[in-house]
């Protein structure tokens, strides 16, 4: 072997070594991110009892549900599990970057194909009429400029017998209940599985003036 050939081989091996190290770092970084996500999800699940939200929605395999203001998907992942294998979750938010995080969470759990991400305007439901078994608003309804109007519009997206579920911190409860009543929603059931939050399920009724 000539000295030149030896140098070329050595450089090639060094290059491969650098690429392998870079690949390993990427894998390690991805692994750390997934591990952080798993820990974050476990804390959320322990503190917020998301199974109670799913129960209030009364969804199951084949259901179609909207997760309004889905954020990074800590509740969305539970909705996707509930509607699989042939259901659908439409996850909406005003911020596309958090929906990217939502996709990462769902992809890691093998549930991404069940969820459609949708960027929407803050005060517009942007849901198709008559298509949804349930609509979830978790810690989001107090942000609407005109909550009764938003709820009245969202009700049109429900299938017959469908429901809207509001979950929020307890200090928002009075305003949420008043807005729902004004929008014509009838309280179906209510619970407080954790001291900080309430869950209220509504069906369509008659709007008040």
Partnered with residue 115 across adjacent β-strands are: 89
Cα 33 from Cα 66, distance rounded (Å):
27
pLDDT at 13: 42
Cα 38 from Cα 51, distance rounded (Å):
17
Reduced to 3 states, what is the DSSP secondary structure of residue 67? Answer: strand
Cα 97 from Cα 20, distance rounded (Å):
30
pLDDT at 29: 53
pLDDT at 89: 98
Strands (E) located in the chain = 64-68, 88-93, 115-119, 132-138, 158-169, 185-194, 197-204
pLDDT at 208: 56
Find all residues with CB under 8 Å of 161, minimum gap 6, and list them: 203
Retrieve residue 76's tokens: 């969305």
pLDDT at 147: 98
pLDDT at 205: 82
Task: Judge whether 62 and 83 are in contact, CB under 8 Å.
Answer: yes
pLDDT at 12: 47
Low-confidence ranges of the chain (pLDDT < 50): 3-5, 7-16, 18
Cα 143 from Cα 13, distance rounded (Å):
58
Cα 37 from Cα 115, distance rounded (Å):
18
pLDDT at 159: 97
Cα 112 from Cα 122, distance rounded (Å):
24
Cα 74 from Cα 109, distance rounded (Å):
12
pLDDT at 4: 44
Retrieve residue 18's tokens: 């650098």
Task: Judge whether 204 and 184 are in contact, CB under 8 Å.
Answer: yes
């Amino acid at each position: 072997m000539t000295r030149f050939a030896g140098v070329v081989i050595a450089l090639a091996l060094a290059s491969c070594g650098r690429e392998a190290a870079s690949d390993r770092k990427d894998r390690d970084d991805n692994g750390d991110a997934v591990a952080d996500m798993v820990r974050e999800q476990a804390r959320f699940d322990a503190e917020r009892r998301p199974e109670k939200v799913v129960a209030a929605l009364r969804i199951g395999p084949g259901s179609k549900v909207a997760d309004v203001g889905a954020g990074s998907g800590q509740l969305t992942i539970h909705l996707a599990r509930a509607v699989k294998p042939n259901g659908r979750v439409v996850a909406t938010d005003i911020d596309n970057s958090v929906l990217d995080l939502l996709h990462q969470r769902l992809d890691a759990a093998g549930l991404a194909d069940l969820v459609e991400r949708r960027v929407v305007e803050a005060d517009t439901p942007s849901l198709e009429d008559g298509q949804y078994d349930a609509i979830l608003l978790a810690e989001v309804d107090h942000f609407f400029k005109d909550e009764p109007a938003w709820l009245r519009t969202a009700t049109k997206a429900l299938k017959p017998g469908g429901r809207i579920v509001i979950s929020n911190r307890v200090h928002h409860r009075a305003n949420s209940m008043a807005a729902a009543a004004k929008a014509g929603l009838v309280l179906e059931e209510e619970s407080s599985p954790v001291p900080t939050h309430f869950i209220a399920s509504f069906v369509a009724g008659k709007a008040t003036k």
